[in-house]
Structure 1
């Protein structure tokens, strides 16, 4: 069934001090998206960047989400770190709390949480960790949307425990036949028209091509285009144009999104 509207999310604030990750076009991307995943200091981001990015999101009316990662500034949170579920949850609470205070300072609330990079993939496969994550959110932020893949352990447990979820489709990542994204550390420059066509087909037909050359069914509530993907701004512009031409509007996730 064709989607009438879709959330469009991107990772924002992924610099550190004077260093910038990606093309450094957050100011240009923010007005084009409906949800921002703001780095919370462990894989990228710092207090000044977090504060500035929250204010930018507020100015553009974009939903604000915490984007916690592994404690891995050097590896940009894309290296898996072996740690106990309890320690990882404490890291997430720490990062979530930091962004929540910057949001409170700006007079806005948090819309969602989305683990970053290797931590996102770890949660997608690790039942003990995902369960502890959702149980923790049930205590501190029970209405917070949790962004995850539909076929992930995270999604299953969140639904089981009643945490609202937003299922993601990754425009700038490849899929395998299980419906999971193929995790990569080095993303090449992609063709904007091809990516726009991929997203449009997923939104109108619910299908995506896998790396093995077969097609699978896919369902989702939000499309992610990473801001650190080379040429991310062009990808987002082309995707918005294609969706708009087919009557699909960009909008933040509604309160009725899958719980």
Structure 2
């Protein structure tokens, strides 16, 4: 909620005119150049960026090795189907993270790239990361049910393998739907408009901005939408609900794995 509050407050604080803003910005830029704390902050960001890139690259390599190993015919049963999906989803999300830093470094001025960075990137990364978490939860639930009711059999509409594929598909769909509203938080700004020139009643030339020809590079907070009620409150509730659901999945994993470990320990003693 703090992020939305901050940029909405910035929107409401528009008492200075354009010239004052330009002067203040120029003055602030001089301060930034001389302030060592800002330079230290940039170095810290660069360090974190390097760490994230290295970890993501290692994760990509590890998931590729996992997928190659899981191609073995002996690893085709239900648990390994979930593990394969988890590795695939993690591979996609980590590759998207590396792509994010690559595009940031290359600074490609393309409307397609800008569209991806503004409206697709966050949804893609978070959706596949969380879909992997859902697969881990589904795998743990399968193990828990197998331990609790090892001999239970029932009528199935689909085979076991197809049932697992349906569950994985629903997990991915749920993650995509859950994170789709993240695209509403950002917007792109137009850098070049298609002008429409016409004459008014006084025979004066008027120029109107009709449609955007090119977008400016960068992501900008969507203040026009999210700084208005009820959208401001709804989006804050959405963010809290999204994080609570993620925390619940992690908590469920911990509890179920603790129960499974305890059950296996008791069975081993007996």
TM-score of the superposed pair, with normalisation by structure 1: 0.22
Structure (1/2) with the larger helix percentage: 2
Instruction: Determine which structure has the larger strand proportion and give its number.
Output: 1
TM-score by length of 2: 0.22
